[in-house]
A and B are shown apart, each in its own frame.
Chain A
Amino acid sequence: MAELSLAAPPVETPEGTTLSHRELLWALLRKPQFVVCTLALLTFFAMAAVPRLFTSVDPRACDLSRSRETATAGHPFGFDVQGCDYLANVIYGARPSVLVSVVASIGGFLLAAVLGLLAGYFPGFVDGLISRTADVVFALPGLVALIVILNSVRNRSIWVIVGVILLIGWPAGMRLMRSTVFSVRNREFVLAARAVGVPPLRILRKHVFPNAMAPLLAQTTLGVGALVGLEAALTFLGVGLQPPAISWGSQFGIAATYRDTPHLFIWPALFIATMTISFMIVGDSIRDALDPKLLR
């Protein structure tokens, strides 16, 4: 399983595909929207990793008497409800969004890929077990299940939220992976490998996975943006991160009760929207590049 994760980086050269590593990258870089959105994402990643690069103000230095004041010199985004500098808070708020979306995406990709490979390659008991479990999880209404589970957790950290998202979210990806594995497992190179006695795990790793991962990869990159929104939604609903964690979702939630102060709403909304759209466009570009039908 640990070895499988080596295949995670998106532009690995898969055997049997028509695109080489270099060609894929070049195809992507030719699209200006991909370049712009990648730069935007890198900025958000930097914001999450080293927020100090973007602001020197302490987001937790607050003066309640300046509550909800609008922009002034030195405070371009104004102040939040607690009288803290809003620019600093919006920048520090990037971390949970980036962490949740990226970690849940990678984790979700791995989980769905492994289970999908197993279910698709070993029909019968293994497939039955995994697929029926997936059916059960599918039957739960997603957001409701998230709210119920998260409500029962006392101290919710980012990792708890990621874990619960993974728990609820894996079946969709698993099914996709399983169906592509079905189409790959009877291809000639897989049959040949099986005929010469290559052990199943090695076949899965070397031959099946690289040729079956493209749809899941595209779906995952498209889904990153939705995860940013999901984290914000959960925090907005009061089952996500708890104070004193700073996050766009909680800023959003507070802004909703102060509708007469639009700047509280506009800034996190703008950041969430930009990041979500960037992830979606990058995901879209990768899918287009990997799709042989759209290639030439």
Chain B
Amino acid sequence: MKYTSQAVAKPYFIFALTLLAGEILFGLLMGIQYIYGDFLFPLIPFNVLRMVHTNLLIVLLLNGFMGATYYLIPEETQRELWNPKLAIITFWIFLAAGVATILGYLFVPYATLTEITFNELLPTMGREFLEQPLPTKVGIVIVALSYIFNVGMTVLKGRKTVITTVLLTGLLGLAVFFLFAFYVPDNLVADKFFWWFTVHLWVEATWELILGAILAFVLIKTTGVDREHIDKWLYLIIAMTMLSGILGTGHHFFYMGAPEYWLWIGSLSSAVEPLPFFLMILFAYTMARERKIQHENEIALTWAKGTAVMGFLGAGVWGFMHTLAPVNMYTHGTQLTAAHGHLSFYGAYVMIVFTVISYAMPILRGRPHGNSKKAQKVELTSFWMLNIGMVGLTLALTVAGITQIMDQRVGTDLVSFMESQASMTGIYTIRLGFGLLVFAGLMTYVYSFFVEEEAK
């Protein structure tokens, strides 16, 4: 660790992994509910589990991004973080707000939650992924602002690199687009527009900048390739991401009351969206091939390459499958969407968090050359468990989605939702099995950090 203030990243990483464990656990509970409909009834209904599952994902990724930023910004700017204490204070605020919100979801009926959290002052609750009560939303804004201020001040005073510029642009976008979460128009179509301005422009524009910056950082560190070379790739990827991603918002405006031209804008621009992800694969593999150093932390580079591949599969391939308007007319809101959602969030974002943790955590724990060979072997096992688990889960959901489409959307001889779902118990059981593998993979990953150092 070159700068002592990089240590603030540690609690963020630990909390991110803890939240991931929670997210997977709640996912597994839902997986059981898909097979036994009355499981946990009436204690925790499906909608609450789903809300906890998705909200945990968002909070864990934000935590991971913040941890990654606090780790890489001092090294990039070549100076200590502007205010490490502030970073720790915001960590605890974020943790407290996050835990309180999740407990609120679990133990207070949502309607009551809206009443006791002043939703009537500024109604913002009830929208998918943005279910957070008003105080939590305000808390997110405060944490985000203080975090960007802290990082911004460090960047202003220190060395400016392409990575810091891209990262900061992504972070600013993240904060700005979240503000749309506070505006809920009465008109349902307008409401959807503003909702996507947060949700889509987060995951398919600004977060991709953050992902690109973190990936570039880890690649520089683990391959020793010249910064100029990496910067060029980063610019190319970012330019394409922004162009396709921003107009790609249109693929959410199909058949919802928005004008027809969105079918064309959305289909065409989102057809381009997989390309930056494909470039990311070329990027990671070219850098690995042209590497100038043999970093002892080999597993970090494996994660970096894995992120590029899985991001392309999940966001690129599984996204393209149903992004064209004529296809989406049949697939919209089926398990195919869930398949895409799972693999893209995992492949692009959860994996970049794993990547940065695998690179930074050993250094933060006083092992500058990475964990021991034995520990890396265990971690590699967890890498495959997690990836095979996620791909298996995604394939199962894809089969479920196609079954659902054939049962309920194609032709005239249609079956009811419940009947169609009941026929898929076998597929859902397979999905649950792969889900368990993912959880076991995460546990193995965590365990790898506690494998004893080999005696030298």
Do the two chains belong together in a single complex? no
Chain A residues engaging chain B, CB cutoff 8 angstroms: none
Chain B residues engaging chain A, CB cutoff 8 angstroms: none
